[in-house]
Structure formats: C-alpha cells, structure tokens
Amino acid sequence: MWSPLVDNGCLEKKNLKVGIVGIGGLGTMGLKLAKAMGHEVVAFTRSKDKIDVCKKKGADEVCVTGDPESLKQFAYSCDLIIDTVAVHHDIMSTLSCLKKKGVLSCVGGIPQPMNFNQFFCIFNKLSIQGSLIGGIKATEDCVAFCAKHQIWPDISVIGAKDISMAWEQLDSGKNNDGTRYVIDIKKSLEDKEFISK
C-alpha cells in the first residue's frame, strides 16, 4: 500500500481524496497510511456490515459499492483510488468515482482480464496503473513512517492446527474486521499432537 500512495504524491501533497477498495488486510493498512499522510479517505466495500470497521480503521467516509445511491454520492470525487481486490469485479463503478485526471492503482492481482470503457477514461483523462511491493528503501521508509505514526497491521497469531478455522473464517466472509491470520511456526512445531498427525 505504501508504493501506490508514495508514487502518486501522497507524501508531498496534502488534502487529496484517496479511496481504498477492498477492506481486508491490505485495505485496512491503506486506510491507516492514507489518513496518517493527511488525506481524506474513502473506504469502498461491498458490505454494509463493514461501515463501522472502515471508520474505526481511518476512513472518513464509506461507499457501499453494491448500493447505486452510495456510488452516486461518490461520483467524480477521488484523486486516487487503490484497488486491493484480488477477484474479478466491476472496475467501472470504481472508475466512476475518480475526478478528472484521477488514478486507479491496482494492487490486487486478478488472472482474468478486466473490462472497462475506454471512452470514459479518455474523456476524463483517467490513468489505470499497477503497483508492486517496493524495494528495500521503500520498505525502510514505510516501517519508519508506521513507527512514527503508530500504525500496525491487525493480526491474530494462530497455530498451524488452526489453518482450517482461519480459512473458513476468510472464505465465509465472517472475518469482517480486516484482521489477518499469522501462523506461529515455532509454536506449531512444538505442538506434538499437531505434528504427529
């Protein structure tokens, strides 16, 4: 999330309107980083159930993408939108929320081709870009920024024996707070019962 924000001037510029699509592990970090950089932040989520979570994580406003009225409210409003979603979805609704000359930065890798209206992009001078994780310098800068602003990822440390539970939570959509599961390998290897299976 650091690279698309920095590459699009979010450290130098102030008071941009930054949208984050997909409020999972990456999305919640995007909300926190963009807010700490001094911008107005909009969370884009399919679920009305995530409105409170989005605001708790730093969103000033929430757009529920399945609600046409909510999308209409955010039409032509964002300078930058970072899309973290890694499954096929409609990006035209996202593009419609960019200001003229706005940028959609995609960080969620989707194997299928995505469809969009080229004329909409042409007439509004929109840019669609991809962004990878940064190198060592970008990582150091991100860690220093996070330390300075007390920004941490939301994690739950589990043992390897709990992988099925974690997968079910993520797959069912019950994990609605952006928490990501981290497997403690050392403790998992010490779990004799688990290892013997």
Kindly list the distances between the CA atom of residue 56 and the CA atoms of 104, 122, 189, in Å, as whole numbers in the listed order: 24, 36, 35
- Angle separating helix axes 25-36 and 136-149, nearest 10 degrees: 70
Residues 123, 47 within the same domain: yes
Residues 186, 102 within the same domain: no
Q: In this structure, what CATH number is given to the domain that contains residue 85?
A: 3.40.50.720
Structure tokens at 108: 């969620």
Residues 85, 135 within the same domain: yes
Task: Average the pLDDT over 42-64 and give the result.
Answer: 93
Q: By residue range, what is the domain housing residue 80?
A: 2-149
Residues 108, 165 within the same domain: no
Residues 7, 76 within the same domain: yes
Cα 130 → chain centroid? 14
Residues 119, 171 within the same domain: no
What is the chain's mean pLDDT, rounded? Answer: 92
Residues 129, 180 within the same domain: no
**Could you report the per-residue pLDDT of 27-49, keeping only the tens digit for each?**
999 999 999 999 999 999 988 88
Q: What is the pTM of this model?
A: 0.89
> How sure is the predictor about 190, in pLDDT bands with cuts at 50, 70 and 90?
confident
Highest mean pLDDT range out of 76-80, 170-174, 183-187? 76-80
Residues 116, 173 within the same domain: no
The conformational region for residue 60 under phi > 0 = left, psi -120 to 50 = alpha, else beta, is: alpha
Residues 188, 139 within the same domain: no
Residues 109, 26 within the same domain: yes
Give kind and range of the element (H or E) at residue 82.
Answer: strand 78-83
> How sure is the predictor about 173, in pLDDT bands with cuts at 50, 70 and 90?
low
Q: How many domains, the chain?
A: 2
**Could you report the per-residue pLDDT of 113-163, keeping only the tens digit for each?**
888 999 999 999 999 999 988 899 999 999 999 999 999 998 889 999 998
